[in-house]
Amino acid sequence: MTVWAAFGPYDTAESAEQFLRLASRAVFGQEGITDHEKWIDEHVKNFHKWQAESTLEKMLKMMCAGLLLSAKGRAFETACKQFKEEAEAQVKNGIEWLNKDFLEEGGHKLDAVKQQDGTVQFAYKQIWSDEEIKRKKREDGEAILNAVGRNLLEDQSYEAKALLAFLGVVNQENMDKGLETPKDVGAIWFACLEVVDKEPNTPVALTFKVLNDAWAATRSEK
């Protein structure tokens, strides 16, 4: 509890719980924490009770102030060091997940950079060239257009065919050609969506919205 207090006070019940469990693992180890679940859960119940009563900040400040009177000694310092290392490991794991599943696919990444005072700050870095990033954006954009177009072309419902026919008319009037590929269908669909956003009261926007909403309803039912 003293290690937990050293990194408080906390502004939500959730953060107080998260850091209490982290502090407990730092002191008792992952295997030893099982023997202490009962009293940890009791504290967590109190955290949430105080939050519901809007007394959380006051109560946590009192707890931390009292506990910090005994914040000293080699065991305490060792546990605090372990706490920081575990917290940093959690942050790094989170960053690795973000990088792998989201950022690196677009040519960027986050790095956790340790400062001289021991704190960790995040650096957002570009790992691809500007041309590579532009090419990836083009590829992603084309993939989305093709996906929307295929969904409409492959859908045999009356609503899909009505929307597709309308899009064909709009494309013919504006591009002077019919819809030849899934990408063409996706492109005019997004163009109509933009018209709805920017010129919602125009005939094209009003008709598109009715037809598209009807098609969307059939897809949600599926």
Cis peptide before 9 (omega within 30 of 0): yes
Task: Give me the numbers of helices (H) and strands (E) for the chain, helices first please.
Answer: 9, 2
Query: What value does the mean pLDDT of the chain take?
Result: 86
Q: What average pLDDT score do residues 137-144 get?
A: 88
Residue ranges of domains in the chain: 1-71, 84-127, 134-221
Distance CA 116, CA 35 (A): 37
155-187 confidence digits (pLDDT tens): 999 999 999 999 999 999 988 888 899 999 999
CB 32 within 8 A of CB 24: no
The pLDDT value given to residue 220: 67
Q: Which of 15-24, 40-49, 88-97 is predicted least confidently?
A: 88-97
How many Å apart are CA 105 and CA 61, to the nearest integer? Answer: 43
Gap between the Cα atoms of 114 and 155, Å rounded: 53
| Per-residue pLDDT at 212 | 94
pLDDT digits (tens, 9 = 90+) for 69-113: 877 888 888 877 877 777 777 777 777 777 787 777 888 777 777
Average pLDDT over residues 42-68: 90
